[in-house]
């Protein structure tokens, strides 16, 4: 194996290690999205897995369930968008331009 090939293999291995570390960090990260001025909060991992939903009793109105549903959806969307943004930053920081190291 020539020197250039060894260098590429070492870079690929380092990139893989960095990706695995970033994925582990994302699995542990907790991001909260909210709606209704914080009356509804949804917490997700950095991988967008929902881990909790918190609803203030003040927002629960049996005569307006649709509003509560909308607030829950809005909080989920907020949390997932924040999670995606965080993941893009972490995965983009793996140290390889072009996402896959310009290999494609």
Check residue 38 and give left, alpha or beta (phi > 0: left; psi -120 to 50: alpha). Answer: left
pLDDT tens per residue across span 10-40: 888 988 888 888 888 888 999 999 999 999 9
CB 42 within 8 A of CB 74: no
Residue 95 has pLDDT above 70, yes or no: no
Residue 102 has pLDDT above 60, yes or no: no
pTM of the complete model: 0.72
Strand partners, 85: none
Could you give the domains of the chain?
A: 3-92 (3.30.1310.10)
Residue 35 corresponds to which tokens in the numbers above?
Answer: 């709606």
pLDDT tens per residue across span 38-76: 999 999 998 889 999 999 999 999 999 999 999 999 999
Q: What three-state secondary structure class fits 12?
A: helix
94-99: average pLDDT? 51
């Amino acid at each position: 194996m020539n020197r250039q090939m060894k260098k590429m293999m070492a870079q690929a291995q380092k990139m893989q290690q960095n990706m695995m570390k970033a994925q582990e960090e994302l699995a542990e990260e907790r991001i909260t999205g909210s709606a209704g001025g914080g009356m509804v909060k949804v917490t997700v991992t950095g991988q967008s897995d929902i881990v909790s939903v918190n609803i203030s009793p003040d927002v629960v109105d049996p005569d307006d369930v649709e509003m509560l549903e909308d607030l829950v959806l809005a909080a989920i969307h907020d949390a997932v968008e924040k999670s995606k943004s965080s993941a893009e930053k972490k995965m983009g920081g793996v140290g390889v331009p072009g996402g896959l190291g310009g290999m494609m």
